[in-house]
């Protein structure tokens, strides 16, 4: 594994907090308006987690997470962004609207969003699949405070940071066995035999 990187996935700050606390291993993605080709794709499977604040809406979160959303002074982004975690995307599952919606609804206990968010994601660009990313998350040795740069803004998932971040001495949030068990359970829900 590399010892430094500048590749980052943008995600709601509250979702990153949940990943860092081991409360979820799952992100749900459709892609941003400014995605290359207009569609979501995984550019890198080993990435830093870059917290965003622009579109965090407490009304789209389960109650226990809605109360944790903290607004930023600018309304869109802080002047300094804290990078504190790294993740490996181990599984990329896709979901399309032709599939049984009850299966995707049964994943509710494995992520932080409420039914309204899931329904909204399914209805946005209905011809495109909803991607379910499973991430093994690691805490970085220290928190990196990086200056916000305009190139980090906009509705896209992937950014290249202007500086590299050390990956040395990272600590996994979940033990491998615990992570593998969650992956297996989610896999069984989405692909019942």
Structural domain spans, the chain: 4-190
Q: Identify whether the C-beta of residue 165 lies closer than 8 Å to the C-beta of residue 144.
A: yes
Average pLDDT of the segment spanning 1-13: 93
The mean per-residue pLDDT over the stretch 138-158 comes to: 92
- Which band of pLDDT confidence, cut at 50, 70 and 90, is reported for residue 85? very high
Instruction: Give the C-alpha separation, 163 to 116, whole Å.
Output: 37
- pLDDT at site 95: 83
CATH number for the 4-190 domain, one of 3.10.20.440, 2.40.110.10, 3.30.9.10, 2.30.130.30? Answer: 2.30.130.30
Exposed e or buried b per residue across 90-118, where buried means at least 16 C-beta atoms within 10 angstroms of its C-beta: ebebebeeeeeeeebeebeebbbbbeebb
**pTM recorded for the entire structure:** 0.92
Q: Which residue has the higher pLDDT, 100 or 132?
A: 132
pLDDT at 103: 76
CA distance linking residue 85 with residue 91, whole number of Å: 18
**Residue 8: half-sphere exposure toward Cβ, Cα within 13 Å:** 27
Q: What percent of the chain lies above the pLDDT cut of 70?
A: 90
Q: How confident is the model at residue 37 (pLDDT cuts 50, 70, 90)?
A: low
Q: What pLDDT score does 186 carry?
A: 94
């Amino acid at each position: 594994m590399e010892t430094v990187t500048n590749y980052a996935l943008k995600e709601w700050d509250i979702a990153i907090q949940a990943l860092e606390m081991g409360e979820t291993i799952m992100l749900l993605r459709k892609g941003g308006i400014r995605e290359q080709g207009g569609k979501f794709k995984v550019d890198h499977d080993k990435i830093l987690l870059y917290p965003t604040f622009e579109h965090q809406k407490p009304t789209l979160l389960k109650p226990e997470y809605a109360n944790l959303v903290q607004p930023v002074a600018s309304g869109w982004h802080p002047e300094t962004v804290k990078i504190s975690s790294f993740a490996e995307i181990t599984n990329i599952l896709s979901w399309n609207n032709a599939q049984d919606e009850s299966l995707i609804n049964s994943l509710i206990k494995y992520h932080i969003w409420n039914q309204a968010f899931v329904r909204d994601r399914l209805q946005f660009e209905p011809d495109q699949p909803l991607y379910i990313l499973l991430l093994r998350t690691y805490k970085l040795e220290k928190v990196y405070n990086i200056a916000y740069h305009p190139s980090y803004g906009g509705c896209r998932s992937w950014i290249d940071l202007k500086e590299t971040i050390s990956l040395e001495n990272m600590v996994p949030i979940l033990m491998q066995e615990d992570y593998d068990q969650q992956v297996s359970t989610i896999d069984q829900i989405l692909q019942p035999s």
